[in-house]
Amino acid sequence: MAKQEMSISKLAASIPTEADAYLKLEELRWDGHPICPHCGVKDQAWYIRPLNGTSRKTRTGSMSQRRVWKCGACRKQFSVLTGTIFQGSKIPVRTWLLVVFEMCASKNGVSAREIERKYELTAKTAWFMLHRIREAMRREPLAGLLRGTVMSDESWIGGTPANRHRSDPREKVRQPGTTDKTPVLSLIHHETREVRSRVIPTVDGETLADAIAEQVDGSRTELWTDSSKPYITVAKDMRGHQSVDHAAGQYVKRVNGGRMTTNAVEGFFSQLKRSIDGTHHHVSKTHLSRYLDQFDFMYSLCKQTDSARMHALISRAAGRRLSYKPLTGGNA
């Protein structure tokens, strides 16, 4: 899958049945080498059912095409769904694969309402499904610190208060001259173009310094920013610091025979805002970080094919179960 480019029509044709979808997911996750999710042993499991390879009758009397394996080490049963974002879902695996491909192939993202309509799901199911996929797009928790040359910038996500009607209840509690937009910080590695974004409470020197220190090895990094004053505080912990003065119309600066700029971060924010405005229309502060995970994933792998991005996402699916109640804070 990762070596041969795939389209949504080719993928749909390759998985006409649920049994074929299980085989395709096993190919993407295991590449022919089953791994037990219980003990981690590889290539010591055998396929046990359904015996005819297509379907079996469950204890409730319904027919199932779920492929089940048994580990030769811990003797526990499992499937390709066990311990992943797909576990416990009643959505067909075929639907999961098609939606995952759409998410990995859509530069501007896919809305839950669109998935609801295309795949005949409920709005709640489609919304939950997309958030589970975003959970797999989240950066690895043990990802190392960025080193080398890193570009940094911040932006504000949300509607402009001046555009609201005076009867909007939010206007009654907002202080004049303030905004309730959400600040977002993004860091992009100059060489690899990996992007890391996060929601921050405020845009001040101390907050930026703490947020950047969590992702950047300052002693081995040169930071490129605009001329915003909070970066004066941040620069103290960096090996080097270069800035451009946007207020003076400066967007590219010659440094040591090279070109120093923050245009890549500006471009990332431009894409992010167009996608939120055009596809999702509104994103709550509660879930904004998950949408940042999605667009970080897409931007960092933008040079790869759609098939390669899908393979990368499936490889991250294990160990990232997301249940509905914690996602909604206990409110359905």
What's the rounded Cα separation, in Å, for the pair 70 and 154? 50
Q: Check pLDDT > 80 for residue 332.
A: no
Q: Check pLDDT > 80 for residue 61.
A: no
What's the rounded Cα separation, in Å, for the pair 293 and 195? 10
pLDDT tens for residues 127-142? Answer: 999 999 999 999 987 7
Q: What is the pLDDT of residue 60?
A: 73
Average pLDDT over residues 274-285: 92
Q: Domain 146-283: give its CATH code.
A: 3.30.420.10
Q: What is the pLDDT of residue 91?
A: 95
Q: Check pLDDT > 60 for residue 1.
A: no
Token couple for 91? 């959505």
Q: Please state the pTM of the whole predicted model.
A: 0.90
User: Sign of torsion, CA 205 211 212 214?
Assistant: positive
Q: What is the pLDDT of residue 306?
A: 96
pLDDT tens for residues 200-233? Answer: 999 999 999 999 999 999 999 999 999 999 999 9
- Each domain of the chain, given as residue ranges in start order, spans 8-137, 146-283
Q: What is the pLDDT of residue 54?
A: 65
